[in-house]
Chain A
Amino acid sequence: MEYEDKAGRPSKPPSPKQNVRKNLDFEPLSTTALILEDRPANLPAKPAEEAQKHRQQYEEMVVQAKKRELKEAQRRKKQLEERCRVEESIGNAVLTWNNEILPNWETMWCSRKVRDLWWQGIPPSVRGKVWSLAIGNELNITHELFDICLARAKERWRSFSTGGSEVENEDAGFSAADREASLELIKLDISRTFPNLCIFQQGGPYHDMLHSILGAYTCYRPDVGYVQGMSFIAAVLILNLDTADAFIAFSNLLNKPCQMAFFRVDHGLMLTYFAAFEVFFEENLPKLFAHFKKNNLTPDIYLIDWIFTLYSKSLPLDLACRIWDVFCRDGEEFLFRTALGILKLFEDILTKMDFIHMAQFLTRLPEDLPAEELFASIATIQMQSRNKKWAQ
């Protein structure tokens, strides 16, 4: 009965062993799994010719499998060598940065050699130091000032959470309600800053640091206050610097003209930046520029997110850090150059899309965006249009 049942369904593999063989034939994973067998004794033997053919096929398969394994081994070896090479070059770069460049920062930072090394990405272990030096401290913020701002922020949090009325009114003009909304929003946003990393969330190791920097900043610059997007900038700095130094870098970074224009949401100035960007866009990528124009895709659609968060939200974090590296070296111009580099990299895809798909694509860039290709693309972007340079 059972036998008949089986025979009635020819699609079912007749025996597990043959099934294994079939799979092997399809994709031999290892030569050791290949076994050439004669037919079971209860079946008539293969004709010599067929046996010969099978032997030949078997040998071919073994050769193929060996070849594949060899190739795989070579690939792995190459990968390993590549990794060693990268590690070695990072190691060398760390030595160069620590022993040669950092001690002689003032004289060396703008030299050709340093600029080239800089472009290749600053090693993570010295990144924070280099960023701090490059961003500078025009505002002369001291660790003490940070402590004062932080203490004031903490006082506010306390009075806010106990529902106490406003005791101090030194920042007249910024209503208590506004400030409360700001404090509340900071709390909400901290938990939404790089949630995948699980380090800034409540209970995470960097939660308090992020909270401190954003809170201290709203006390330091009540005229700017907290603006969404800031939490990402502060978070990237925290990943590379101590709290007080991150605060100093944060405040100075936001004090740059481009960042001030955006974080104050100065619409007029933002439009000026977008207009300047479009000049270089048309110059560098005329075809894509025309396509964007035709579809009414204006730069604000994608630049607002990119500029506000300095790419930390839209690019993979390690790649964003490399953009920050060169941004620290070249200033705001590089932010717009990066934008053009991204547009150029995806020019072919974008020209085939309509408005909404382009908008979707640009506000959610591919997660596996390759660093080297992006940097190669950025390198080809000229920020000198006719006789105009990028200067606001």
Chain B
Amino acid sequence: MAQAHRTPQPRAVPSQPRAFKLVLLGSGSVGKSSLALRYVKNDFKNILPTVGCAFFTKVVDVGTASLKLEIWDTAGQEKYHSVCHLYFRGANAALLVYDITSKDSFLKAQQWLKDLEKELHPEEVLVMLVGNKTDLSEEREVTFQEGKEFAESQKLLFMETSAKLNYQVSEVFSAVAQELLQRDDREDQAPQEDAAVALNEGPARQAKCCAH
């Protein structure tokens, strides 16, 4: 909805894929930066704690279409919460990441969802719940079923991953990309009356592609 002013992008230009803003949210050390790094650079290493926000971009091909993901990788520590609100705005998608070996991080992810919904309409942001660190399954504190049930109750996408073992990482981003494109196409076909709503949202830092 808030992306209404993004849509004038002509579809026939393949060199300028549509851009979408994706934020990574979740408590400290659940693997947000690791997921981004694995996905964008296919690398896994000891990552410095994120202070503020880090940024990645990647062009994703979905069938014949392609889109550009602008990944905003936020700081996880709770104390940074108030700062992270700055980064929600204008997001098209959010990955709520938790660590399957930490119940607490799962509860925090649910808290993040509440915060996110305070600032963004559920229809304007696509949310996926991601349980990371399946490589540590012997220390698991959150079952697959628990994650799945919560995601279903909130109408979120859901997947479990391991950034370390490169398990289902690109699948997460591809699924989000695919869904984003579908939603975007649906919006294009929808009558333009939505635009009035979009104007009121006034996203401060909208992921843009028509501004070039």
Q: Which residues of A contact B (CB under 8 A)?
A: 181, 185, 188-189, 191-193, 195, 225, 227-229, 231, 265, 267, 270, 295-296, 298, 300-302, 304-305, 308-309, 313, 354-357, 359-360, 363-364
Contacts and interface: CB of A to CB of B under 8 A. Distances in A.
Given A181-B78, A296-B204, A228 B83 contact: no
A357 B82 CA distance: 24
Nearest to B80: A265
Contacts of A357: 57
Contacts of B78: 181
A305 B51 CA distance: 5
Interface stretch (B41-49, B130-138, B162-170, B181-189): B41-49
A227 B83 contact: no
Contacts of B46: 191-192, 195
A191 B76 CA distance: 16
A188 B53 contact: no
Say whether chain A's binding surface is mostly helix, strand, loop, or mixed: helix
24 contacts: A188-B28, A188-B49, A189-B49, A227-B77, A228-B76, A265-B79, A267-B83, A296-B205, A296-B206, A298-B205, A300-B83, A302-B52, A304-B51, A305-B51, A313-B48, A313-B51, A354-B211, A354-B212, A355-B205, A355-B208, A357-B57, A360-B55, A363-B53, A363-B55
Interface in B40-68: 46-57
Contacts of B208: 355
B54 A363 contact: yes
A349 to B, nearest CB: 16
Contacts of A304: 51-53, 83
Contacts of A355: 205, 208
B204 to A, nearest CB: 6
B77 A228 contact: yes
B196 interface: no
B9 to A, nearest CB: 14
Q: Which among A225, A227, A231 has the highest number of chain B CB atoms within 10 Å?
A: A227
Given A185-B28, A356-B70, A265 B83 contact: yes
Interface residues of B, number: 34
Contact of B104 (A181, A191, A193): A181
Contacts of B204: 296, 298
B52 A363 contact: yes
Nearest to B56: A360
Contacts of A195: 46, 48
Interface string B200-212: 0000111110011
B47 A192 contact: yes
A188 B29 contact: yes
A40 to B, nearest CB: 53
A366 B77 CA distance: 26
